[in-house]
Amino acid sequence: MHVPAGFAVVTPYIFVDGANEYIDFLTAAFGAREIGRSSDPTGRIANCQMLFDTSAIMLSEASDQFPASSVSLYLYVADADAAMARAIAAGGESIMPVSDMPYGDRQGGIRDPRGILWWMSQRMTDAPYF
């Protein structure tokens, strides 16, 4: 089995309204970069791959056949406080302030402009979760 670099065996794939603007948000809020895109004959984004450091997601413009979907994404970051500030400055809405969690993460959460929840988590220990 071949899995492309940056992708996991299970890779998040989301459908959003306003895919071009959402790509701009992901770039500004999380430093993601576009690594591939295909469009249909009308110019609608059929598939866009966005790389977040070492992990990728895919997204498409929502349609009648594939309406906008909701998902919650857990994003590991080097500095949870800075990541939250950046995401809020890019248009995210704070839903949980950054705080130290009992499972060893420093974490906060935002709702992005498309209603998707992002949990920015700074792992504070090398210990496993369980």
Cut 0.75: pTM above it: yes
46 is a domain residue: yes
Structure tokens of 53? 């450091």
pLDDT, residue 129, reads 85
129 is a domain residue: no
pLDDT of residue 58 exceeding 90: yes
Per-residue pLDDT of 69-115, as tens digits, reads 889 999 999 999 999 999 999 999 999 999 999 999 999 999 999 99
pLDDT, residue 70, reads 85
CATH code for the domain of 43: 3.10.180.10
Domain extent, residue 35, equals 13-62+69-123
90 is a domain residue: yes
104 is a domain residue: yes
CB 48 within 8 A of CB 36: yes
Please give the tally of structural domains in the chain: 1
110 is a domain residue: yes
pLDDT, residue 19, reads 97
128 is a domain residue: no
Element (H, E) at 93: strand 93-100
pLDDT of residue 3 exceeding 90: no
pLDDT, residue 10, reads 87
CB 62 within 8 A of CB 17: yes
Mean predicted confidence (pLDDT) in 3-22:
92
- Residue among 120, 123, 122, 68 at smallest CA distance from 94: 120
Mean predicted confidence (pLDDT) in 29-51:
96
130 is a domain residue: no
Structure tokens of 50? 């966005």
87 is a domain residue: yes
